[in-house]
Amino acid sequence: MNLSFFDQFSSPCFLGTPLITLSLLFPALLLPSPGRRWINNRLSTIQLWFTCLITKQLMTPLNKTGHKWALLLTSLILMLLTINLLGLLPYTFTPTTQLSMNMALALPLWFATLLIGLRNQFSASLSHLLPEGTPSPLIPALIMIETTSLLIRPLALGVRLTANLTAGHLLIQLISTATIALLPMMPSVSALTALILLLLTILEIAVAMIQAYVFVLLLSLYLQENI
């Protein structure tokens, strides 16, 4: 039974073909495409308002140079948001529970922000590795510590998203299994467990939204440091 709890995190296959690509592209089909009319329906209006709100929140700390990343960061947060929320539905697969995918998103984007900083302000980027006024005996140790903290940023991004979503999915499966197992023996306890499951599901919806926002927000903060 312990192994079956982790089966939900394995990539689904059909005739030996992994379906993770389909699970990544399917959320995009649920978003309404913009029309040519001046007045759109309510769904398109809500989508436009939500997209503008997210873009404003992400671009406010950045200067005009960083606004070039608006399309990339907004598309990324919408993709992560839809994937995380759809992954809470029964009999679905959540690609963002795979560390390999999250690292594939975090590492290139972090490296791009680092290269931008080294190209535009080389001295300022290197000065972050050594705080001003550091005693001479501590300089080698602080440079190693700051370099390590800089290099683990993409790992922290990927692990944070993977760990939070994986833990939430496991808790939901454990409590739902306990609810079904207790139903014939102790219905009252099973009803209490079902209530806990409902509250946990609401919490996981909030976690799915927050983790998508935190992932992109940290990338925007890394970009802010380098422009």
**pLDDT tens for each residue of 11-54:** 777 666 677 777 777 777 777 666 676 666 777 778 888 888 88
Q: Which of 86, 100, 91, 96 is nearest to 26 (CA)?
A: 86
Tokens 């001046």, residue located: 38
Say how far apart CA 70 and CA 75 lie, in whole Å.
8
- Do 61 and 225 contact (CB within 8 A), yes or no? no
Coil/strand/helix, residue 40: coil
Question: Residue 17's beta-bridge partner residues?
Answer: 14
- Per residue in 131-189, pLDDT (tens digit) is 777 777 877 888 888 888 888 999 999 999 999 998 888 888 888 888 888 888 888 88
In sequence order, what are the beta bridge partners of 27? none
Question: How is residue 70 written in tokens?
Answer: 């608006």
Distance separating alpha carbons of residues 167 and 19, to the nearest angstrom? 23
pTM: 0.83
Return the domain boundaries, the chain.
Answer: 17-226
